[in-house]
Amino acid sequence: MSDTERLPQPATADIDLVTVLHALGDPVRMTLLLSYADGAEHSCDPHGLGLDHLHKSTVSHHMRVLREAGVTTTRVAGRNRFVSLRRTDLDARFPGLLDALLPAAAS
């Protein structure tokens, strides 16, 4: 695995609305979505994401669900992984979806 490889994720054209909505139907994953909405890359450390109360393997599971649904992308750099929101791809597939979900999730 090279230093700039991405973990498997669906192509933009293959992102499915039902799968995305299912992935976002969990409160922990909505919390992750809010964290990733700032547009930055985030490490997979649960403490940096405000999920200190969850076991690391649980957080990894939620991150995998989001990535496999096409909501996030994960960049591998050595032993580290960095996650970011696929905002451009999601906006291209489902215009206005994130604009509607993010304020609702924040309240």
Per-residue pLDDT reduced to its tens digit, 1-18: 444 699 999 999 999 999
Banded pLDDT at 102 (limits 50, 70, 90):
very high
pLDDT tens figures, 21-46: 999 999 999 999 999 999 999 988 77
Average pLDDT over residues 90-106: 93
Residue of 77, 71, 83 whose CA lies nearest to 44: 83
Sorted by where each starts, the structural domains of the chain and their CATH numbers stand as 12-106 (1.10.10.10)
Burial of 61 (0-12, 13-18, 19+ CB in 10 A): middle
Burial track 64-73 (b if 16+ CB lie within 10 A, e otherwise):
ebbbebbbbb
DSSP letters for 39-85? SS-EES-GGGGT-TTS-HHHHHHHHHHHHHHTSEEEEEETTEEEEEE
